[in-house]
A and B are shown apart, each in its own frame.
Chain A
Amino acid sequence: MTLRLLRSLSLVPASAWSLLAAVTLLLAIYLSAGSVFPWFMSWRTAATILDSAATLGLCAIGMTFVILAGGIDLSVGAVLALASLVTAIALQRWGLPAWLAIPLVCAIGATYGAAVGGLVHSARLPSFLVTLAGMFLARGVALLMTSEGRISMNRVPVHLWGSGVRVVGLTLPALVFLATLGMGALVLRWTVFGRGVRAIGGGEHAARLLGIRVARTRVGAFAVCGLCAALAGVVHSVGVGAGDAKAGELMELDAIAGVVIGGTPLSGGVGSIVGTGVGVSILKVIELVIVSDGSLSAQWAKIVGGGLLLLFVLLQRSVGRITKVWAGGRTDLDPHRREAQPVSRAS
C-alpha cells in the first residue's frame, strides 16, 4: 500500500512535492493549533472545519478544472450568490420541490460556465477578462432579483435538511464536498474529458494531436466550474436558510488560493483535485484559528490567505525551475525560442 503510494508519488514529482508541502503545512498548522486550543484535536472539530469548508471547497474544485485547463475564473463567488438566490426563489416563491430546484440551479450554473468557456475559446479573449465581466454580470443579476439583497426561506424548512444526516460525524455539506471531491478526482483520472482538461492546459497544439477536442474540453471545464459554483450556492443557501446576493464576495481569491496551495500551479496542466481539498482545508483551519484566537480581526484570514497564495506561487515557480534543470540539463538551451514568447501575458 505505502509502496504503491510512494511509487505513484514518484510518478508526478513536481506536483507531488507541492501536494506534500500542502499536506505537511496542513498537519503543522493543525497540530500547532491543537497545542494552543486542545479542542482542536477532536474529530468533531475536524468535521466542523470540513462543514465550513464545503462552499469554498466546491468552488475550488470547479476552479481546479479551469486552472488545469490553463484558464482562471474570477466569477465563482458571484455565481455562488446568484445560485443561492435562485435556489431560494425556486423553493420559496415557486414552491418547487428540491429534487427539481437543485438540478435546475446546477443546470443554470453549468450553462453560464459553458457560455463563458465558449466566449473564451471562440473569441480568444483572456479568461480573466471574460470572468471578471461575468462576475459583475452574475452579481448584478443577483442584486436585481431582490430589492433587499436577501430572500429567506421561511416557508421551506431547509435548515432541517441536514440536521438528521450525520455520517461518521460529517454534516451534509461536508459530505457533498467530499463526494464532489471524489467525483472530480475520478473524472480527471479516468475520463477522456479529464485527461483532455490536463492536456489543453499543458499545450493546446499537442492536445489536438492527442485527439482531444479542444473546444469541447475547454467549454466543459468552465461548465464544470459553473456547476460547482452553483452547487456551492445551493449548499450555502440551505446552510443559512436564505439566498444572499452578497454571498461569496472575494471567494474567487480564496478558491484560487486553495487550488494553488493544493499543488495546482496557475500555469495549468498539472495538479490534483485532492490537493485542492487540502489547500481549502488549510485556509479554513487558519480562519478558525484566527476566529478562535479572538484578539485577531477576521480580516487577517484574508490577508494570510493572499500571502499564502503568493508564497505558494513563488514556491512552485522555483520548484518547477529546479526540477526542469534537474531533469533535462539546462532548460535555456535555446534562449531565442524561450525569449520569443512574451514574458507574462495575461491569460
Chain B
Amino acid sequence: MTQAPTLRASGIVKVYPGVKALDEADLVLHGGEVHALMGENGAGKSTLVGIIAGAQRPDAGEIHLDGLPVSPSSPGHARGLGIRAVHQELTLLPHLSVAENLAIGGYPSRAGVIGWRAVRRRAREALAELGLSIDPRRPVGELPIAIRQLVAIAREMQGEARVLILDEPTSSLDRTETERLFEVVRAARDRGVAIVFITHFLDQVYEIADRVTVLRGGRVVGAGRTADLPRLRLISLMLGRDVAERESRLAGRNGESEPAEEASAPVVCARGLRRGRALRGASLEVRRGEVVGLAGLLGSGRTELARAMFGADRPDAGQLAVDGRRRRLTPRRSSRLGIGLCPEDRKSQGLCLGLSVAEGLTLAMRAKRGWWRPLRRGERQEIVGRLTRDLAIRAVDSRAAVGTLSGGNQQKVLLGAWIATNPRVLLLDEPTRGVDIGAKDEILRRVRSMCDHGLGVVFISAELEEIVRACDRVVVMRDRETVGELRSGEIDEHRIMRMIGAERRA
C-alpha cells in the first residue's frame, strides 16, 4: 500500500526580495497517483513546482527522486531526470506539425537531414501510448486548445517520465474537453507516473486527484487523501480560517439588525454579462457608499467581471448601465463617468513602472481631465502630497520610479491614482495581494473611509476574512457566473464557502 514515494520535496524555502514565497514546504508524490496542488494566488504553488521542475533554485530544502537526492538545476536537467512540466502557456510551436512538436530534444537526423519517417513514427507511438488519435502531420496551431494540451502532455510523457506537472491544464477547457484530458491523465497515471495537478476547480480535484496538498502563504496548511478531506474543509484551508471556529464567533453578528437598505439607484449595474468562455452570466450592481465584495475562487470569473464592468473587455452579451443609462464602456469613458479599476496584475496592467511616483499618481487624473489641461506645479504637489500622506506611501521622494517601490507601496500608488480622479465607483481587484499586513490595513481603512463619503466599491479578494470584514454585501461567483448574494446580516465565511463549494450543477 504505502510504497516508497516517487518524489519527496522537504523543507523547501524560497525567499524573494521582501517575500518568503515558500516556507518549509513539503510535497510527497507517489507513482500512479494524481496529486492536486491547491492554493490561491501567491500561495507558492508556481514557486514550488518551479523548483521541482528546475526553473528555480530553492534557498533551502531537499528533493529526493526515487529515494536519491537530486537538485534540478535547469528545466533541461529536470527533464533528463524524468521530471516534466506542462505549463499553462503551452510551449508548443503552433506553426510546426504535431509530430515535430513531439520530437522534443532533437530530430532523428543524419548529417543534418531530417528523417521524417522516423519523426512521424515516433509521434504516432507517443500518441498511441495515451490513446490519442491525432493526425501527427497537422500543425499544432490548427488544433483546438484542448487538443494542444493533450499534445503537450504526450510530449512530456515520452521517454522515462517519472513526474508530470500539469499547471492549470483545465482553466480554458469546457466539460467534455476536461473529460478527455482526464482520460489522458488517467492513462499517464496508470503507467506509474506521479502527476501533480494544479487547478482551482474543486469538482475536478474530487474527480481525479488521489491526494491533495494545500498551500497558503508559502506554507503547507494541509495534505492528505482527497477522500478524507471534505469539500468545506478544503476551501477553508485554502482561504484561511477554520470554519468551525468562525461559526462560533459569528453567532452574535447574525442577530444584528439589518441596516436600512438604501433606496439609492445603483451607479453601475451589470446584468447577465457574458464574454466567450471567460464570463457566463454575471450580474452585479454597485450603489454609492457601499462596499460590495466579490468572492469566488481564482478562475471563477471575478477578475473578468470587474474588467467587463470597467470596459477593459467588451462583453458579448448582457447589459451594462451607468446611472440607469445603458452604456458601451471603454476605459476612457468609464474614467470620465467616475469609474476606476485597480487591476489584479499590478505590474503588467496597472502601473507604468518607469514613471515617477508623482507621475503615476496623477496619470489617471490627467487622463480624465483631458490632455490639454495643464497641471500647475503647486496643484500637483498638493495632490501628490495629500495622497502620499493619506495612503502613507513610503518612497524616497516623489521623483523615484514607481518600479523601485515595494509591492505594498506600488499598490498604494495605483489606488491613489484612482482616488485622485475623484471616482464614484472603484473596482478593486485583489488590492491586498502581495502586500504586507500593515499596508493591507491602511488600504482597507482608506477604502472604508472613502465609502463613508459616498464612494461605491467592488472589492475582490481571495481572503474571505477581508471580505467579511470590509463588505456590506457579498456577491459570490462560481464557474464564471454569479451564483448568489449575501446581505449585510448574513455575511460570514461559512456561508460564502458553502456557496463557493456547492456541487457543480450537471
Contact = CB atoms under 8 A, between A and B. Distances in A.
A and B touching (Cβ–Cβ under 8 A)? yes
Nearest to B148: A328
A206 B93 contact: yes
B89 interface: yes
Contacts of B109: 191-192
Interface in A12-67: 12-15
A13 B142 contact: yes
Contact of B142 (A193, A201, A205, A323): A323
Interface string A138-160: 00000000000000000000000
Given A335-B307, A335-B313, A329 B93 contact: no
Contact of B349 (A324, A332, A334, A339): A339
Given A202-B93, A336-B303, A336-B345, A327 B100 contact: no
Interface stretch (A99-107, A125-133, A207-215, A282-290): A207-215
A124 interface: no
A340 interface: yes
A11 interface: yes
Interface in B87-142: 89, 91-97, 100-101, 103-107, 109, 112-114, 116, 137-139, 141-142
Contact of B91 (A195, A205, A332): A205
Contact of B104 (A201, A211, A339): A211
Contacts of B343: 336
Given A205-B91, A207-B93, A340-B345, A328 B112 contact: no
B172 interface: yes
A198 B114 contact: no
Contacts of B93: 198-199, 202-203, 206-207, 210, 269
Nearest to A267: B95
Nearest to B307: A335
Contacts of A336: 303, 343-345, 348-349
Contacts of A205: 91
B86 to A, nearest CB: 11
A210 B101 contact: yes
A273 to B, nearest CB: 15
Contact of A198 (B96, B303, B313, B348): B96
Interface in B134-182: 137-139, 141-145, 148, 171-172
Contacts of A209: 91, 104-105
B89 A337 contact: yes
Contacts of A327: 141-144
A330 interface: yes
B114 A190 contact: yes
Nearest to A209: B91
A269 B95 contact: yes
Contacts of B107: 192, 195, 211
A329 B278 CA distance: 12
A345 to B, nearest CB: 14
A211 B142 contact: no
A195 B112 contact: no
A333 interface: yes
A328 B277 CA distance: 12
Given A195-B96, A206-B93, A211-B105, A335 B278 contact: yes
B112 A193 contact: yes
B276 interface: yes
B141 A14 contact: yes
Contacts of A211: 103-107
A270 interface: yes
A330 B91 contact: no
B91, B139, B141 — which one has the most chain A CB atoms within 10 A of its CB? B141
B112 A192 contact: yes
Given A209-B91, A210-B104, A269-B94, A333 B172 contact: yes
A269 to B, nearest CB: 4
Nearest to B345: A336
Contacts of A13: 142
A170 B276 CA distance: 55
Interface in B198-236: none
A91 to B, nearest CB: 33
A343 B360 CA distance: 21
Nearest to A196: B107
A16 B303 CA distance: 38
Nearest to A203: B93
A11, A207, A335 — which one has the most chain B CB atoms within 10 A of its CB? A335
A210, A327, A329 — which one has the most chain B CB atoms within 10 A of its CB? A210
Contacts of A202: 93-96
Nearest to B172: A333
Nearest to B135: A11
A12 B92 CA distance: 16
Given A192-B112, A329-B276, 6 more contacts: A11-B138, A198-B96, A209-B91, A210-B105, A328-B145, A332-B313
Interface of B: 89, 91-97, 100-101, 103-107, 109, 112-114, 116, 137-139, 141-145, 148, 171-172, 276-278, 303-304, 307, 312-313, 343-345, 348-349
6 contacts: A13-B142, A199-B96, A205-B91, A206-B91, A335-B304, A339-B348
Interface of A: 11-15, 190-193, 195, 198-199, 201-203, 205-207, 209-211, 269-270, 323-324, 327-330, 332-337, 339-340
8 smallest CB-CB distances across A and B, nearest first, come from A330-B276, A211-B106, A270-B95, A202-B93, A340-B348, A269-B95, A206-B91, A211-B105
